Amino acid sequence: MVLLTQAIELKNELDQLSPIPKEREELIMQKFRLDWNYHSNNLEGNSLTFGETKALILFGITGKGKPLIDHIEMVGHDKSVKWVMDVVKGDYPLTESCFHAT
């Protein structure tokens, strides 16, 4: 019951911050996307630093001396992250069939 009470209190605090200005929301989501890409790939042994990840995802700049596969994996992962974010934002039914490619 304590966890439920804490969750409700945190939700109320979050609601008081709404609406988040569009520019601020975009910065928050960009940071979330970069962190998600970097940390997920880093766990798998990708050699790109956070700065190299940011340069690649935001500007298409590759890290000098880094394996090509690391860049390819990062770009592919970012496409997946963007897809998930689009699904979350959209008004899609959450069913098993909605995730199959058509």
Is 12 contained in some domain?
A: no
Residue 77: what pLDDT? 97
Is 84 contained in some domain?
A: yes
Q: What is the pLDDT of residues 26-85, one digit of tens each?
A: 999 999 999 999 999 999 999 999 999 999 999 999 989 999 999 999 999 999 999 988
Is 16 contained in some domain?
A: no
Please report the DSSP string for 49-76 in residue order: -HHHHHHHHHH-PPPTT--HHHHHHHHH
- 46-63 burial, b at 16+ Cβ within 10 Å, e below that, comes to bebeeebbbebbeeeebb
Is 72 contained in some domain?
A: yes
Does residue 100 surpass a pLDDT of 60?
Answer: no
Name the pTM for this structure: 0.73
Is 43 contained in some domain?
A: yes
Q: Answer whether 58's CB lies under 8 Å from 40's CB.
A: no
Q: Does residue 83 or residue 100 have the better pLDDT?
A: 83
How many CA atoms are closer than 13 Å to the CA of 90, on its beta-carbon side?
A: 10
Is 53 contained in some domain?
A: yes
Range of the structural domain that residue 44 is part of: 21-99
Is 15 contained in some domain?
A: no
Does residue 102 surpass a pLDDT of 80?
Answer: no
CA 42 to chain centre: 14
Is 1 contained in some domain?
A: no
Residue 96: what pLDDT? 72
Domain count of the chain? 1
User: What is the CB neighbour count within 10 angstroms for residue 32?
Assistant: 12
